[in-house]
């Protein structure tokens, strides 16, 4: 037989596009259109409905960037359409290739209630299943003219303050039409079969069966009257659509989904509208398709709907009760996980799961994070302690170098906790359920022979409108279809239960899920990152002192509502395109303002509690919020600082050859004539920290122009060019006294300037470094280098509730790919017996390299990534003034890094008062670190203390409360009792004995007597 495949395939593509699809909506009748441009920001629906509408016609342009245009559409159903299915087609000027990244609309009735959203693949509105002639149509379309910002070029359209005022869209179509059901079904038949056919091998007989059936169906179509012949054409396809799947066919659990970034190429206020549009579509689709299941994560987004669209929220609640609308994820937002602090990660689950429980009575069991940029090794324990048991991610498929070896596996965290994890082999969280994607899922699945099923999230995300009736039609046809995986729409929990039952002995992956891409997100938008870190620290302070005051001071009211509101604000800004610095300028401008408000409010809460505790008096009391004692002040207490026995005053001398020498009896620090630290000598260990012939605290600048994702990526070739910033403007001793000496160094480079202050304090084993940068570079990366005389095989980076080790060598492609890594408050390198830590108060990006010197020694260089200057999506990223704090700690062990990291991030506060304040709680083992002290969420007045083992070893400790304890209970992160053995009952003196395994997190609930 002659091979005419290409002829039939080309015939199908043209007939579908030019004849069959246009016939789905027949006999179009134009609607009458009015328009009104809302001034400024979006207006309430009632205002839009009552606005003065002017005339409008198809073809008119509308919508400046970030504007809102209201369209009023009216019409009458023709009498001859009685009994027919009638729809309106409302095309705002969509580009079908970019669902979710352009204009969108929400259709309202005259009473203000939602009908559905308008999107590129969802531009229809059902008028009637069986129309009545003469029926009147009146709708109001709230149309958002969001600019298209996906081309990765520098643009100022990403902020309303700098965007243009020219219209972006042209109204394309607003008609009433007859919906031809058989034509629509024929389209679905042909598209499913064509997609399947093209995935089958050229030697597969099934491919030719489908080809011949399609040929016959097209022969049956009268191109001049498609509606009249669609049913006949469909009969030619019945047999090939009825052939059942092979017994061994891969099984796909299809879950409706619409991944909506809580901010990205649009501001937060637009996300509020995006989630309303999408969920209005979803509940409407559920009304007509009872088999449809839709999963939605991010409690914040549902809370927005509750606040801004209460009538829609009630519809969603009903669908949740019916089991069709499924909350997943258990987090407040789909947050970043690399940079979020430990307690903040806990609160993501606490407030997320609490919202689902309070509003819907649902305990979510799966953690749904498809799009975050890598996953911390602390996550499995946090997941389990939240009451969840399954984890889903997708983003790892974006890794540049190494293909992840599993799709279903046990993920083991730093403490040994394992969580059952799935990584969908479809390699997208916005599947169209087309043949190509389903075939990819089946072929790509790495568990063949052991497992047989995977999950596929389907639907248009980011404001594309979610799943459509076309998606559901594909699922129905591929439920049991020869040549295709078996597709079943079901809830995520059903998939996980089946996958776990089938493959309980899945392989184990230990450690972080490092994404070999988007490494620049550890650094971009430094002020957003600084705002996050400082907010986390300030929340710790506010809760500690407010809890202490609530227990101690009669009449003091714990600010439950204020703290919860502020926590949710901080959690929102940990979303995986806000904290990572990958959103438009508008988002980060608002974030900076939000963090400033949070800072002032938390300082107010903290000060009020401290004043209540201190009482009226003139003594200068120093409050220590850190989890370790310092200057004689206990952790969580306040008092008068004491000098440690043996502390020597700090001295400064001129250095031979230029510069200065600072000493305090513990460290001897040499700053050369260039203003660089050329020696940091540990007098106690008699060890030099700085590698011979090298200089520390060296600012270096690199070109930074990654191959694609500007704000997201740092590509390895940036290292090929480097400029050491050694030119000096000024070098001076800025402060000299027995308690501290500060040397100030000033430099200029490019269009920027930096002032670095190098401080040595009495009794300190750290050199404190403050870098003030007026940054005006473009596409550059600024780093601070510390070449250390240490032979380190690995580095330790603080992560949530512990630390993670990473190799300093590049033996394999897995290690080489980790050329930029994330650390929280510290990074540490050591050889047996001696090490050094670099501490910071708001920097996350680091790199660690090593080389062998001519003398045979090894230099391990730790560098902090301070600032970047990408042009997309915010062309002004990081421009302006920054103050960055970090410290060098020669001779530090892990325990020292933990202590000094907390001290740097939790500064002492001075308050005038009457008498010292004893700690509310005390621990007798510094290896066990208190992460949070707060009052219980249930308003019982119980004290909650969360702590963890910080050094990676087993630990016992005694927790003593400075109040009468009736009962001590170990709880999960939602403060519910656990049967765990980590906590004993209170002893006669009120002490609670604790036993912790390495990196274990323990939450203790103390009921006051």
> Which candidate in 371, 647, 713, 768 is catalytic?
371
CB-count burial class (<10 Å; 0-12, 13-18, 19+) for 96 = exposed
Distance between start and end Cα atoms, the chain: 90
Three-state secondary-structure class, residue 209: helix
In angstroms, what CA-CA distances link 586 with 39, 163, 366, 531? 18, 10, 32, 16
3 state SS for 246-306: CCCCCEEEEEEECCCCCCCCCCHHHHHHHHHHHHHHHHHHHHHCCCCCEEECCHHHHHHHH
CA distance 398 to 1002: 35
Widest distance between CA atoms in the chain: 102
- CA gyration radius, the chain: 31
Q: Is 159 a catalytic residue?
A: no
What contacts 523, CB < 8 A, 6 or more positions away?
529, 581, 714, 781, 843, 844, 845, 865, 866, 867, 868
Of 415, 417, 425, the closest CA to residue 393 belongs to 425
3 state SS for 709-748: CCCCCCCHHHHHCCEECCCCCEEEEEEECCCEEEEEEEEE
Of 211, 156, 195, 172, the closest CA to residue 91 belongs to 172
Q: What six digits make up the tokens of 875?
A: 């062309």
**What burial letters (b/e) apply to 487-519, b meaning 16+ CB within 10 Å?**
bbbbbbbebbebbbeebeebeebeebbbbbbbb
- The DSSP call for residue 775 is E
Of 753, 284, 711, 285, the closest CA to residue 528 belongs to 711
Task: Establish whether the linkage from the previous residue to 379 is cis, with ω within 30° of 0.
Answer: no
3 state SS for 388-436: CCEEECCHHHHCCCCCCCCCEEEEECCCCCEEEEECCCCCCCCECCCHH
- As a dihedral over the C-alpha atoms of residue 448, residue 452, residue 457, residue 459, rounded to 10 degrees, the angle is 100
What contacts 363, CB < 8 A, 6 or more positions away?
353, 356, 357, 387
Strand-pairing partners, residue 852, are: 858
Instruction: Decide if 132 contacts 558 (C-beta within 8 A).
Output: no
Three-state secondary-structure class, residue 450: coil
CA distance 482 to 480: 7
Q: How far is CA 811 from the centre of its chain?
A: 31
- State the catalytic residues: 371
């Amino acid at each position: 037989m002659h091979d005419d495949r290409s002829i039939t395939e080309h015939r199908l593509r043209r007939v579908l596009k030019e004849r069959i699809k246009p016939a789905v909506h027949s006999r179009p009748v134009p609607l009458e259109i009015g328009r009104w441009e809302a001034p400024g920001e979006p207006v309430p629906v009632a205002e839009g409905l009552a606005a003065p509408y002017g005339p409008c016609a198809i073809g008119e342009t509308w919508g400046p960037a970030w504007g809102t245009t209201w369209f009023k559409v009216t019409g009458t159903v023709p009498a001859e359409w009685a009994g027919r299915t009638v729809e309106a087609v409302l095309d705002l000027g969509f580009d079908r290739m970019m669902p979710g990244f352009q204009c969108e609309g929400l259709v309202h009735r005259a009473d203000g209630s939602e009908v559905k959203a308008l999107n590129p693949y969802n531009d229809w509105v059902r008028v009637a299943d069986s129309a009545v002639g003469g029926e009147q149509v009146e709708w109001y379309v709230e149309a958002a003219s969001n600019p298209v910002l996906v081309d990765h070029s520098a643009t100022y359209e990403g902020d309303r303050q700098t965007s243009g005022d020219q219209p972006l869209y042209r109204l394309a179509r607003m008609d009433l039409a007859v919906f031809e059901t058989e034509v629509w079904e024929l389209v679905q038949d042909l598209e499913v079969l064509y997609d399947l056919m093209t995935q089958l091998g050229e030697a597969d007989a099934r491919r030719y069966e489908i080809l011949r059936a399609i040929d016959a169906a097209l022969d049956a179509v009268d191109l001049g009257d498609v509606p009249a012949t669609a049913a006949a054409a469909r009969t030619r396809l019945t047999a090939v659509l009825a052939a059942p799947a092979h017994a061994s066919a891969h099984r796909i659990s299809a879950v409706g989904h619409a991944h909506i970034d809580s901010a990205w190429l649009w501001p937060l206020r637009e996300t509020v509208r995006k989630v309303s549009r999408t969920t209005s579509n979803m509940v409407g689709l559920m009304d007509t398709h009872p088999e449809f299941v839709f999963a939605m994560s991010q409690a914040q987004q549902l809370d927005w709907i509750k606040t801004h669209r209460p009538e829609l929220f009630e519809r969603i609640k009903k669908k949740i009760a019916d089991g069709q609308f499924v909350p997943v994820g258990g987090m407040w937002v789909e947050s970043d996980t690399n940079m979020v602090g430990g307690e903040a990660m806990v609160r993501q689950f606490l407030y997320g799961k609490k919202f689902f429980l309070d509003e819907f009575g649902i305990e979510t069991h799966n953690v749904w994070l498809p799009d975050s940029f890598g996953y911390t090794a602390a996550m499995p324990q946090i997941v389990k302690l939240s009451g969840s048991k399954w984890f889903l991610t997708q983003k790892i498929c974006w890794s540049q170098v190494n293909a992840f070896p599993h799709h279903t596996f046990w993920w083991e965290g730093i403490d040994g906790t394992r969580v059952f994890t799935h990584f969908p082999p479809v390699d997208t969280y916005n599947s169209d359920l087309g043949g190509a994607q389903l075939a990819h899922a089946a072929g790509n699945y790495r568990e063949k022979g052991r497992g047989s099923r995977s999950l596929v999230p389907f639907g248009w995300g980011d404001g594309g409108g979610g799943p459509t009736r076309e998606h559901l039609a594909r699922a129905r046809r591929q439920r049991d279809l020869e040549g295709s995986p078996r597709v079943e729409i079901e809830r995520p929990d059903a998939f996980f239960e089946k996958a776990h039952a089938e493959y309980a002995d899945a392989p184990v992956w230990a450690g972080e899920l490092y994404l070999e891409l988007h490494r620049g997100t550890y650094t971009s938008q430094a002020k957003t990152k600084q705002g996050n870190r400082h907010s986390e620290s300030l929340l710790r302070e506010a809760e500690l002192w407010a809890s202490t005051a609530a227990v101690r001071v009669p009449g003091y009211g714990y600010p439950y509502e204020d703290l919860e509101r502020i926590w949710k604000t901080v959690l929102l800004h940990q979303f995986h395109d806000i904290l990572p610095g990958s959103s438009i300028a508008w988002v980060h401008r608002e974030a900076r303002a939000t963090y400033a408000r949070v800072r002032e409010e938390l300082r107010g809460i903290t000060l009020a509690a401290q004043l209540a505790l201190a009482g009226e008096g003139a003594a200068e009391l120093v409050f220590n919020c850190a989890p370790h004692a310092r200057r004689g002040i206990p952790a969580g207490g306040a008092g008068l600082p004491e000098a440690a026995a043996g502390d020597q005053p700090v001295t400064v001398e001129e250095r031979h050859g230029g510069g200065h020498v600072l000493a305090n009896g513990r460290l001897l620090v040499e700053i050369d004539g260039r203003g660089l630290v050329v020696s940091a000598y540990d007098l106690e260990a008699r060890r030099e920290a700085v590698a011979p012939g090298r200089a520390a605290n060296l600012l270096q600048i690199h070109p930074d122009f990654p191959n694609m994702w500007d704000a997201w990526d740092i590509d390895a070739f940036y290292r090929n060019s480097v400029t050491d910033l050694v030119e000096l403007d000024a070098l001076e001793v800025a402060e000299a006294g027995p308690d501290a000496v500060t040397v100030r160094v000033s430099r200029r480079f490019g269009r920027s300037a930096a002032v670095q202050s190098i401080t040595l304090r009495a009794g300190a084993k750290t050199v404190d470094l403050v870098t003030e940068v007026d940054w005006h570079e473009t596409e550059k990366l600024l780093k601070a280098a510390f070449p250390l005389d240490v032979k380190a095989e690995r580095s330790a980076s603080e992560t949530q509730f512990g630390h993670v080790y990473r190799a300093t060598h590049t033996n394999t492609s897995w290690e080489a790919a980790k050329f930029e890594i994330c650390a929280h408050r510290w990074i540490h390198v050591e050889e047996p017996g001696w090490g050094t830590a670099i501490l910071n108060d708001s920097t996350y990006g680091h790199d660690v390299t090593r080389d062998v010197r001519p003398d045979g020694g090894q230099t391990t260089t730790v560098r902090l990534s301070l600032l970047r200057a990408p042009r997309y999506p915010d062309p002004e990223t990081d421009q302006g003034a920054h103050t960055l704090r970090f410290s060098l700690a020669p001779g530090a062990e892990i325990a020292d890094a933990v202590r000094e990291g907390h001290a740097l991030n939790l500064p002492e506060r001075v308050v005038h008062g009457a008498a010292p304040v004893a700690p509310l709680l005390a621990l007798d083992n510094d290896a066990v670190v208190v992460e949070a002290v707060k009052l219980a969420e249930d308003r019982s007045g119980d004290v909650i203390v969360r702590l963890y083992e910080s050094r990676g070893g087993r630990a016992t400790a005694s927790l003593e409360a400075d109040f009468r304890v009736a009962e001590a209970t170990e709880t999960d992160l939602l403060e519910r009792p656990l049967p765990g053995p980590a906590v004993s009952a209170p002893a006669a003196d009120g002490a609670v004995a604790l036993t912790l395994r390495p990196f274990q997190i323990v939450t203790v609930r103390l009921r006051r007597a």
